[in-house]
């Protein structure tokens, strides 16, 4: 038990230092390690297994909407990047450049992909000719590089993994429909698979993606009251098409510019899973995304038949579709319990000589610590039910936390005080003026998270300047 206690004590308490708690959990759960390149990370098997499950589920959802996977080059010629002015200005501070090939200087600098809009546009201008070629709905799974000044594992690193979808359409209406469709895919994925409740809405012009006509976002609230932009979907209109000459011949035999979208979710969502669900014992993984859903732990494993029984239970669960394993290591049961909790495995199943004699095992839930006696012959039916209960409970707990930490403000002094002293979302009215948005950020360090689709008329005046307002905005400090 001393070993188990030490394992937990090595994780800093959330209340003591949330940032250190996060770092401790990421390291202790062996999700990442630091790389020799500053600001980059090694994603270890436990972390990559999470990403694989995310990738598998999202990829399936994308393909259900008609999306196909492609792959674009890692490098972008500087001249190509310069074609869309707003886009290049937005990314200029974060771009990494290749200037030499071997020992020879390049005739033109190459940008290491920070995002792939320009590459897709350059491809589409030769791929699309007629209305019959449309739409094109492509996605790529890749890594991108952005030279961030301040980094933190998963949340912000200089190289990270993501998917980026890029679609091209005949009409503005088709592009807008795809933009919202993909935002809904992300929202459903977060809520149904990751058990993370999200707010759906549109970004202000100040916060939208560089070069986009409109950016839509899903925003989640972390345990410490900070917001995390968890997925975005952008409507580019025909701006990129005009810059790159992406045209098609319509049914009336006239040339028209295409309309485009882009949408993405990255490994930062793993940081979201950690910060929404984790506790002082470590990770707490929703069953639908957990690489291991159940671990069988033999008690008094040297006693005759215990190990065989434990292994048999794990095999039965696997056959029933549960991602299960048996921990037959020589560590103490107490250490195994603490390790299972720290790694966030949704359930552990304890089996020992007395349990075998009684024809039962003990199932312990990671989400609330509840211990449940389950008959051995009912294991395959009961464990999946318990996993579903955990999944639902984790979503409800996260939703309750968000609701308890979402506030309304109608006066500026009240707004500033709430931002400073009550971490969370603050709903307030906005006139639409960039100057008010800038002042709020300067005064409070809070940014507009989104203008939610579900609007409320909290008052008829802007929280900042007092002028007429009809847009309710979620505000908050963010990662």
pLDDT score, position 6: 59
pLDDT score, position 93: 84
- pLDDT tens-digit readout, 464-474: 999 999 999 99
Domain range annotation of the chain:
14-277, 294-386, 406-476
- pLDDT tens-digit readout, 275-330: 999 999 999 999 999 999 999 999 999 899 999 999 999 999 999 999 999 999 99
pLDDT score, position 89: 77
- What does the alpha-carbon distance between residue 301 and residue 321 come to, in Å, rounded to a whole number? 25
CATH (one of 3.90.420.10, 3.30.470.20, 3.40.50.800, 3.20.20.70) for 294-386 = 3.40.50.800
In terms of Cα–Cα distance, which of 204, 187, 155, 206 is closest to 263? 187
- Is it true that 14-277 and 406-476 share their CATH fold? no
Interval 241-255 mean pLDDT: 97
Burial tier of 381 (Cβ tally within 10 Å: 0-12, 13-18, 19+): exposed
Show Cβ contacts of residue 315 under 8 Å, excluding neighbours closer than 6 positions.
Answer: none
Interval 152-175 mean pLDDT: 97
- pLDDT tens-digit readout, 447-459: 999 999 999 999 9
DSSP state of 432: S
- pLDDT tens-digit readout, 9-62: 689 999 999 999 999 999 999 999 999 999 999 999 999 999 999 999 999 999
Q: Is the pTM of this model over 0.85?
A: yes
Q: Write down the mean pLDDT value for the chain.
A: 96
- pLDDT tens-digit readout, 194-223: 999 999 999 999 999 988 999 999 999 999
- pLDDT tens-digit readout, 378-427: 999 999 999 999 999 999 999 999 999 999 999 999 999 999 999 999 99
Q: Is the pLDDT of residue 3 over 80?
A: no
Interval 120-134 mean pLDDT: 97
Q: Is the pLDDT of residue 1 over 80?
A: no
CATH code of the domain made up of 406-476: 3.30.110.30
Q: What is the CA radius of gyration of the chain?
A: 25
Please give the class, per CATH, of domain 14-277. Answer: alpha beta
Please give the share of the chain, as a percent, with pLDDT higher than 70.
97
Within 13 Å, how many C-alpha atoms sit on residue 427's CB side? 20
């Amino acid at each position: 038990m001393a070993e188990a206690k030490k394992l937990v004590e090595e994780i800093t308490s959330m209340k003591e230092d949330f940032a250190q708690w996060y770092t401790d959990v990421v390291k202790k759960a062996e999700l990442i390690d630091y790389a020799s390149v500053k600001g980059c990370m090694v994603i270890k098997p436990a972390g990559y297994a999470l990403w694989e499950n995310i990738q598998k589920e999202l990829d399936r959802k994308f393909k259900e909407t008609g999306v196909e996977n492609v792959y674009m080059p890692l490098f972008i010629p500087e001249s190509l990047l310069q074609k869309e002015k707003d886009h290049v200005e937005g990314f200029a501070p974060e771009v990494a450049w290749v200037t030499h090939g071997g020992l020879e200087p390049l005739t033109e600098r190459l940008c290491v992909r920070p995002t792939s809009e320009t590459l897709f546009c350059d491809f589409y201008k030769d791929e699309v000719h007629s209305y019959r070629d449309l739409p094109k709905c492509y996605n790529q799974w890749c890594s991108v590089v952005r030279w961030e000044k301040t980094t933190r594992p998963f949340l912000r690193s200089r190289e990270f993994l993501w998917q980026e979808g890029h679609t091209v359409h005949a009409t503005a209406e088709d592009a807008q429909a795809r933009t919202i469709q993909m935002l809904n895919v992300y929202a459903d994925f977060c809520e149904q698979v990751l058990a993370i409740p999200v707010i759906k809405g549109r970004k202000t012009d100040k916060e939208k993606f560089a070069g986009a006509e409109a950016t839509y976002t899903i925003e989640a609230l972390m345990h410490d009251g900070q917001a995390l932009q968890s997925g975005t979907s952008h409507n580019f209109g025909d701006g990129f098409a005009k810059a790159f000459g992406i045209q098609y011949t319509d049914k009336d035999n006239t040339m028209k510019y295409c309309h485009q979208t882009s949408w993405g979710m990255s490994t930062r969502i793993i940081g979201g899973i950690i910060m929404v669900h984790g506790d002082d014992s470590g990770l707490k993984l929703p069953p639908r995304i957990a690489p291991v859903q159940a671990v069988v732990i033999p008690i008094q494993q040297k006693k005759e038949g215990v190990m065989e029984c434990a292994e048999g239970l794990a095999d039965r669960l696997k056959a029933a579709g549960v991602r299960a394993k048996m921990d037959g290591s020589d560590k103490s049961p107490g250490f195994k319990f603490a390790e299972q909790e720290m790694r966030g495995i949704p359930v552990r199943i304890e089996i020992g000589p007395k349990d075998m004699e009684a024809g039962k095992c003990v199932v312990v839930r990671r989400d609330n610590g509840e211990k449940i006696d389950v008959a051995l012959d009912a294991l395959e039916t009961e464990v999946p039910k318990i996993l579903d209960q955990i999944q639902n409970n984790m979503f409800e707990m996260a939703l309750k936390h968000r609701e308890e930490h979402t506030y309304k403000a109608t006066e500026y002094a009240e707004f500033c005080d709430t931002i400073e002293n009550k971490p969370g979302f603050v709903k307030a009215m906005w006139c639409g003026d960039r100057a008010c948005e800038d002042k709020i950020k300067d005064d409070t360090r809070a940014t507009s998270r989104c203008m939610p689709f579900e609007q409320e008329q909290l008052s008829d005046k802007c929280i900042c300047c007092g002028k007429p307002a009809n847009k309710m905005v979620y505000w908050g400090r963010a990662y």
